[in-house]
Structure 1
Amino acid sequence: MLHEILLALSGHPSPLFEDGDLQQAPKGISSGRQVPLLSPSERSLLRSIGELSELHRKLRDHIERIASSHDSTICRAVATAIQQAHLARFQDKILEVEGKILTKDPSVVGAYDIVPLAGVVGEFEDWHRRMSWYWETTCFMQRVGMNSSNSSRSTGTALIDRLRSEQQTGFPDVEHAAIELSRVAETAWLRQLASWVLYGKLPAFGANDFYIKSSNIEAQESASFVKDKSLLPKFVSASTASSILLIGKSLNQVRRYGRQTKPLGATADQTISEADLTSAHLQQLTALSLPIVSAQLSRAISTIRLSLSRNVLQSLLPMQMILELLSCLKQFFLLERGEFAVTLIGESDNRLHARQQSMGRLLQQDPVKGLQGLSLKDAEFHQTLSQTWKTLAAQDEDVEDDILDFAQRHITFSAPVDYNSRPSTSDSVYGATLSLSYVAFNDLLFPKAVSLGLDVPPPLDLFISQKEIEIYASVNAYLLSLKRAHLRLSDLWRRTAARRDSSAARNISLLSTDARERTRERRVAMRKVWATCSAATFLLSETTAYLEGEIARESWSHFEDWVKEPLLSDEPDISQTMSSISTTPAASQRDPETLASGHRTFLASLTYALLLNDVPYTKQLRSLLGNVDSLIAFFNRLLEAQQKLDLEQDASGETGYTLEEEQRLSLELDRARKKVDSDLKSVVNRLRQLDRERTGSGRYLHTSPGDSGFEPWKGGGVDRLLMKLEFGRMVEGGFDIV
């Protein structure tokens, strides 16, 4: 019977035991055959051996299925390690017990060469818990009886996280097994990581288990890469994950666009070959202890990133290219080039006016076709932007403007669409949350939402992401809508017919009493309108000057100085250490991830200072801008109606319809004026509330410098804008208009 017991423990079927249902192993093991001449205690001991033997057999079969068919290379590696190392130890234990029996070891064999069954069972007592844990681990990798369903299979990342948590169970044998398997799993994960970090390629095997994905797996040369956070092990921090993404993308783009192996500013004898650089980076990965310590991995990835920046990225993404992109954003998105904003607004108004006239004629001739053509199309937006570029180029035809050329090639003007942005280092960790208000300002230039965009060409996508371009587009629409409202209100004073009565050029003595009375009534009625327009113009002009001239300009100047500031680093470069090059402190530009991190911090603080994340303020300001448009529209229509009425009077053909139209438009204009008055008070009251709320630490957005070390510009609180508005306070009927 001892021979049968040892064979059964080795995984062979034995007549001493019956197969049980291991779906609930080890509790589902049957008690075994009723072997004669066995006492109840011996029968109980035999049941324990039966459970262990059957569990071993089922575990071995299940591991073979996982090792041969599982999608995850990490799970297959762990399954193979259990089979070849851990189950092999169990087999060695069986051979050890067998050897003790054959050599009559007194620890197993008693007097008269009797081998107690309890002694044999006791030799395997520690293996029950361990084998049960192996079974639970393999069932976690793939449930029993489910070979084709992906939902029944675990990912390698989930297995790594489970093995790490199992190290804290409190059982030394389970902890030791979990640590060993963690080393195997994390070694397999490091191999995947090495392919990406050293060569910029996704793993040849098990790429579906790696947290970086390609949008075009068949053609990695033209693919964009995204992060799947569900496949990121917990020991990898978010900042480390973003650095890994940057490193691989940089190497991928080096292969696509080529690079100079000689770093900027390096001498001929300091050129390092690609093989030496890869070897230096590989040493950083191989020096990691297993299981991986999060801090060690972060340091190794940071070292590789800095080395790559010094030896590759300063040639692939030089400072001049970054500054060109930043200058484009500053001049055209933040409206530093004021003529661009004025020209774009003018071209948009001209196109809308021309379209309204053509659509009016078309609606009279063919109403069905006219209604079908009411919607604005992207081609019209593109034509508006093209005409804007032509106007700007004509103004500076004698000056070569590289920034304008860059903007013409990459800036777009179209309806905003939702799309998955090409991720970059900017797609990583945000030190500050960029939560903008949901209130949109991009539907004021045209009846349809339209905004500027920027096609970010590689390798600039290592520095900025499309998500940040969308934030710039929101800021641009916000500033552009304020400037547009200010320009349209200011234009009212340029209309001579609105400020002077058309009959003034005629002899006042020839006017009838009714005409003189009507002129006087018009002047009295328009006084409130002019007062409201003056108050709105003042508020918009001061707000625009504050946002553009103080907040945006000073914040950008501070950020640009930080970008241009040379980085003096006395840390030895690992690639230079291998090449036996002397390491002296040298000035260099910051690496793309540091620049991107600082840029995100700047963008978060800028939107906070521009009040774009305050929903009540943006709602009230958006209402004001919409009502200003209504006020101007009714103002123009009333002026046209009054001019028609005066012409009819001169021709002695006055009609009741014209008088009725004038009265109706006068009423609508007064309603629009009251709405603008109310909105002006609401906006200023909200600014006063913000001034009271944003005190102390809340005056500026709380940001952490993080790895970038960038501190945003801190100045120009809301109180400065309110101080300017106080000088323009106007009183009408005993209460403030502004």
Structure 2
Amino acid sequence: MLHEILLSLSGHPSPLLSSPTTTSTTAPSPLAPPERALLASLARLSELHIHLLAATAHIATSHPSVICRAVAAAIDDIHLAAFRRKVLQVERTILCHDAALVGAYQIVPLTAVVAEFEGWARRLEWLAGVVRSMGAGKEGGGCCCTGAAVVDLLRGELQTGYRDVEAAAGSLVAVAEAAWLKQVAAWVLYGRVPSFGEGDFFVRRETGEGGDGGGGEEYACESGLLPSFITPSTAASMLFIGRSLNQIRAKSVGDYSLRGNDHLSTQLTRLAELQHPIDSATFSRTITDIRHFLSRTTLQRLLPLHRVLEILQLLRDFFLLGRGEFAMALTQQADERIRGRWRRAENLAYEKRNGLGNVTVKEGEVAAVFARTWAAMGSMQSEHAEEDEGVELARDLLRLTMAKPGAATPTTPVAPEGGLTAIAATPFRNLLFSVPVVLTLQIPSPFDLFLSQLDLQTYTAINSYLLSLRRAHLRLTDLWKITPLRRHHPAPPTAPYGGTRGGREKVRLLRQRHTARSNVLRNAWAAASAAIFFLGEVEGYLQTEVVAGLSDGFHLWLTTGDDEQRHGDASKKTGLRTPEGNPSPPKPNNTTYDADGDIWLAEGGPGSASSSTQHAPQQQTQTHPHDPQSLATAHRLYLRTLVHRLLLSHPSFTDPLYELLVQIDHLVALVHRLQAVWAAADLETDVGVVDAFVDLEKEERDVREEIRGVEGRVKRGIEGLVGELRRLEGSGDLVRGKAGEGGEGDGGEEWDGVVVVRESGEYVPRRVGGVDRLLMKLDFGSWFGRGRGELGGEEDHGEF
């Protein structure tokens, strides 16, 4: 019977230890009830052992996860093998007649045999639970357990009160993490997705549109396949390293200077030296060291600083409207195209009733408008001898296309706590052509190492927002170019007709007509002037205070490794120079000096910057270029701050602003229409040219009535926007996310009330913008509260 018990414990089913329900009721049981109760624990061990042998063999051969296969194989090779060795040890003890088990008269007590396997039940039960977790989902038709889930499960089981379970979990954690590290090593050292178990790896290979430089393939990170000890920043670093290696592999085909990147395999020892269970901070430092090593050896040749500054300057000039002539030329060409289509539609309306269908803008016309925009910019710059390389680069990379109907609103994922800042869904892109049109960029390689499609969508949204403001401003100022509406009183006719009574009556008639029309448009001009003032101040605030301030600070951080404000504060007190060896630049207007600051230090007196020139070379040598991932992180933080400070993340401001811009377009169109009606009326009155299809008097009354309605809506729109700015300034919505709140030396930063400590040299956006400044400029005093008729001239035109 002892032989049968030990054989059953070794993994061979035996009817001796099987439950009574499975045995034949007719066959007599060789065990008495007390013996069967005593051997119940050994029967359970036998069942667990047999089940684990079958389950681990199945998982090790058929599971799609390499990590699960490795854990299943380790359970069999380590723990079940140890159990079988224990069975052999007990058998050897019995055969050797050891007194530890064999008593007098060669009797082996069953209680002694059961006591030898005490403690194994808990360990095998725990292993059975792990095996069940790895096989979960297969029976129900769901997804199998992933390797990351197994790693998290085993790491969680380390927190137990049983020493044997903790030791078993530790051994399996080492196996699981080692298998996972092999996959990670293939990606971060060679840029290759594991060929086996690819579906269980956190990097997903996606088919792109040729923007990745790796044969049209793009890679994305799936956070659900990452163990919990991997932080988002570490995951982003691993994804960046692999993408960079793929870029290098693609570039090395034609560039021999980028070949020979096998030296990255020397970093394999860094991964092999990691202790299990892996510490999150240690692993993050290891990945950061590998990334810095790659940046120092190869990426500086692939993506030098001057090329980064070149593409960022392009984005600043054309997406953020740093070049005013680009916005002006694009607006003019788009308006000419729209007016041309409407004129053609009006001409076809007499012959074909579906002439209005020709007003719809097509994709080819948008591309033609963009081509004429470049031609217009070229004519503006023809007087310069040298070619503008920025314009030539933009001509090659920029595209003006019609947006897809289902395009989603972009977000900027750069908040320290991992949150997203959503851009308002206000359709500013509809204002240029009355159809969704966006400015896009074909991201060339290797700029996609730090510039993503999400960043480009953010730039596109900002461009549509700023361009709509500039377009409305230009269209309003163009009203003053309509000579028939703004000319002086007509001069008397020349002699001899001017001296006659008929000549004098004609001059009086023309002047009365002009005076009456001027009174009609008096409120329209007042509304247009108020809108021009409002748009001009808002544009000035957004461009000079926000865009220019943030862009200059980001550019300074790229070139010197520190922003102007923090370095300016330090140099103000110590008199040190910037890393470039030049005196510290002046602080921006929105930065105040401390009360105890010494102005003579800034003037170059004793102890000033001039006395510390010997420290400049040393500081310059300590300035290291930023690696592409740090650049990408800083660039996304720059974009997030830009969106927030441009008020583009506040729908309560952007929605009424969009309505105001629509009403401004309506006002401009009505003024042009009224001028055309008056021109036709003058031809009919003075020359006798009569259009039998148009009732000019009725149309003039209708247009004047619509102009009066639009004037009121423009006034209310400006009032509402100024009130919303006051509400935002009073509620503190634009105070959150201020950089530098944590002090000068520690790089502290406050995001939505949470202070985040940043490392030295990390990019911190400038504290730019101040709605209070804009509100002071927009303070109309009692302009809106004046009585009727004070600005209108007449009581029936006293809206403003």
**Aligned partner of 1:612 among 618, 640, 648:** 648
**Aligned partner of 1:300 among 286, 296, 300:** 286
For residues 699 and 58 of structure 1, what CA distance do their matches in structure 2 show? 57
User: Counterpart in 2 of 1:454?
Assistant: 441
For residues 14 and 462 of structure 1, what CA distance do their matches in structure 2 show? 63
CA contact (8 A) 1:194 1:282 kept: yes
CA contact (8 A) 1:485 1:625 kept: yes
For residues 151 and 273 of structure 1, what CA distance do their matches in structure 2 show? 45
**Structure 1 residues 255-270: aligned runs within 5 Å:** 255-258=249-252
CA contact (8 A) 2:60 2:70 kept: yes
User: Counterpart in 2 of 1:596?
Assistant: 632
* Number of equivalent positions: 701
Secondary structure in structure 1 of the residue aligned to 2:429: coil
CA positional deviation for 1:534: 0.7
User: Counterpart in 2 of 1:166?
Assistant: 157
Secondary structure in structure 2 of the residue aligned to 1:625: helix
For residues 419 and 484 of structure 1, what CA distance do their matches in structure 2 show? 25
User: Counterpart in 1 of 2:590?
Assistant: none
User: Counterpart in 2 of 1:313?
Assistant: 299
Q: Which moved more, 1:88-97 or 1:352-361?
A: 352-361
Q: Does 1:332 align with 2:318?
A: yes
With over 3 angstroms needed to count, the CA separation of the structure-2 counterparts of 1:692 and 1:102, relative to structure 1, is same
CA contact (8 A) 1:216 1:223 kept: yes
**Aligned partner of 1:638 among 653, 669, 674:** 674
Query: Cα deviation per residue 1:690-727 (whole Å; 9 max; x = unaligned)?
Result: 22123895384745574561111113301111122226
Q: Does 1:525 align with 2:578?
A: no
Q: Does 1:3 align with 2:3?
A: yes
**Structure 1 residues 118-133: aligned runs within 5 Å:** 118-133=111-126
TM-score, length basis structure 2: 0.81
CA contact (8 A) 1:624 1:676 kept: yes
CA contact (8 A) 2:492 2:507 kept: no
With over 3 angstroms needed to count, the CA separation of the structure-2 counterparts of 1:427 and 1:283, relative to structure 1, is farther
CA contact (8 A) 2:203 2:219 kept: yes
TM-score, length basis structure 1: 0.88
CA contact (8 A) 1:142 1:152 kept: no
User: Counterpart in 2 of 1:387?
Assistant: 372
For residues 260 and 167 of structure 1, what CA distance do their matches in structure 2 show? 50
**Aligned partner of 1:53 among 46, 52, 63:** 46
Query: Cα deviation per residue 1:102-126 (whole Å; 9 max; x = unaligned)?
Result: 2233333334332222222222231
User: Counterpart in 2 of 1:231?
Assistant: 225
CA positional deviation for 1:487: 0.7
CA positional deviation for 1:139: 1.8
For residues 427 and 695 of structure 1, what CA distance do their matches in structure 2 show? 18
One-letter identity of the residue aligned with 2:552: S
User: Counterpart in 1 of 2:765?
Assistant: 712
CA contact (8 A) 2:473 2:532 kept: yes
Secondary structure in structure 1 of the residue aligned to 2:99: coil
Secondary structure in structure 1 of the residue aligned to 2:39: helix
**Aligned partner of 1:441 among 417, 428, 431:** 428
User: Counterpart in 1 of 2:602?
Assistant: none
CA contact (8 A) 1:19 1:54 kept: no
CA positional deviation for 1:76: 0.7
User: Counterpart in 1 of 2:594?
Assistant: none
**Aligned partner of 2:775 among 712, 722, 735:** 722
For residues 638 and 434 of structure 1, what CA distance do their matches in structure 2 show? 44
Q: Which moved more, 1:494-503 or 1:609-618?
A: 494-503
**Structure 1 residues 25-40: aligned runs within 5 Å:** 36=29, 38-40=31-33
For residues 629 and 656 of structure 2, what CA distance do their matches in structure 1 show? 38
For residues 35 and 428 of structure 1, what CA distance do their matches in structure 2 show? 74
CA contact (8 A) 2:60 2:73 kept: yes
Query: Cα deviation per residue 1:236-278 (whole Å; 9 max; x = unaligned)?
Result: 1100011111111111111110298979xxxxxxxx9644442
CA contact (8 A) 1:244 1:301 kept: yes
**Structure 1 residues 285-684: aligned runs within 5 Å:** 285-368=271-354, 370=355, 373-397=358-382, 398-417=385-404, 433-500=420-487, 509-511=504-506, 519-565=514-560, 587-651=623-687, 657-684=695-722
User: Counterpart in 2 of 1:90?
Assistant: 83
For residues 427 and 601 of structure 1, what CA distance do their matches in structure 2 show? 5
Q: Which moved more, 1:335-344 or 1:708-717?
A: 708-717
One-letter identity of the residue aligned with 2:424: S
Secondary structure in structure 1 of the residue aligned to 2:149: helix
With over 3 angstroms needed to count, the CA separation of the structure-2 counterparts of 1:418 and 1:711, relative to structure 1, is farther
One-letter identity of the residue aligned with 2:312: L
CA positional deviation for 1:411: 0.8
**Aligned partner of 1:80 among 73, 80, 97:** 73
With over 3 angstroms needed to count, the CA separation of the structure-2 counterparts of 1:301 and 1:206, relative to structure 1, is same
RMSD: 3.3
Q: Which moved more, 1:398-407 or 1:698-707?
A: 698-707
Between structures 1 and 2, the one with greater helix share: 1
Query: Cα deviation per residue 1:479-508 (whole Å; 9 max; x = unaligned)?
Result: 111111111111111112112489776678
Structure 2 regions of 5+ residues with no counterpart?
A: 563-577, 580-619, 740-749, 792-798
For residues 75 and 716 of structure 2, what CA distance do their matches in structure 1 show? 75
Secondary structure in structure 2 of the residue aligned to 1:726: coil
For residues 82 and 543 of structure 1, what CA distance do their matches in structure 2 show? 68
Query: Cα deviation per residue 1:178-209 (whole Å; 9 max; x = unaligned)?
Result: 11111111111100000111111111322221
One-letter identity of the residue aligned with 1:555: L
CA positional deviation for 1:375: 3.3
Structure 1 regions of 5+ residues with no counterpart?
A: 21-28, 264-271, 570-583
CA positional deviation for 1:427: 9.1
Query: Cα deviation per residue 1:15-59 (whole Å; 9 max; x = unaligned)?
Result: 214489xxxxxxxx9699786464433222233322221221122
For residues 156 and 362 of structure 1, what CA distance do their matches in structure 2 show? 68
For residues 115 and 492 of structure 2, what CA distance do their matches in structure 1 show? 120
For residues 472 and 213 of structure 1, what CA distance do their matches in structure 2 show? 26
CA positional deviation for 1:620: 1.3
Query: Cα deviation per residue 1:303-333 (whole Å; 9 max; x = unaligned)?
Result: 1111111111100110111011001001101
For residues 172 and 697 of structure 1, what CA distance do their matches in structure 2 show? 53
Q: Which moved more, 1:702-711 or 1:151-160?
A: 702-711
CA contact (8 A) 2:189 2:268 kept: yes
With over 3 angstroms needed to count, the CA separation of the structure-2 counterparts of 1:367 and 1:654, relative to structure 1, is closer
For residues 363 and 331 of structure 1, what CA distance do their matches in structure 2 show? 42
CA contact (8 A) 1:628 1:676 kept: yes
